[in-house]
Amino acid sequence: MKSFTWTLAPARLAPASLDPQPVKNENSPGFPTSLVVARAYAAEIKADRAARVPWRKIAEKMSISRIEAIRLAHSLDEVLDEIREETSRQAELKQHMNPVRGLGW
């Protein structure tokens, strides 16, 4: 009897990722982009849940996904941190795009 071993061919191995950053899923268009709006949405979601409104109805009303509504209600601090990171990253990009004015040249 012959013993066979199976191996993956090198061509079938997945290539190494060029970007070490994890892929971030895009949020819904209605997802809050400011801290104040995120806090207001979270308060409204909690009030709706206290009134036993289903997650699906809450998500439809706010034009966000059901998972995003759950995240706003249960992990608001993480969402706020993500918004802060995104706004600081956008501010850095904006600063690099705009030349410094008023140098007197």
Domain boundaries, the chain: 30-95
Residue 56: per-residue pLDDT = 96
Triad 88, 69, 48: Cα angle to 5°: 130
99 backbone dihedrals φ, ψ, rounded to 5°: -70, 155
Q: Cite the DSSP H helix spans in the chain.
A: 35-50, 55-62, 66-74, 76-97
Whether 64 shows a pLDDT value over 90: the answer reads yes
pLDDT in tens, 1-40: 566 665 555 555 555 555 555 445 578 888 999 999 999 9
64, HSE (Cβ side, Cα atoms, 13 Å):
21
Under the phi-then-psi rule, with left for phi > 0, alpha for psi from -120 to 50, and beta for the rest, what region is 63?
left
Whether 92 shows a pLDDT value over 90: the answer reads no
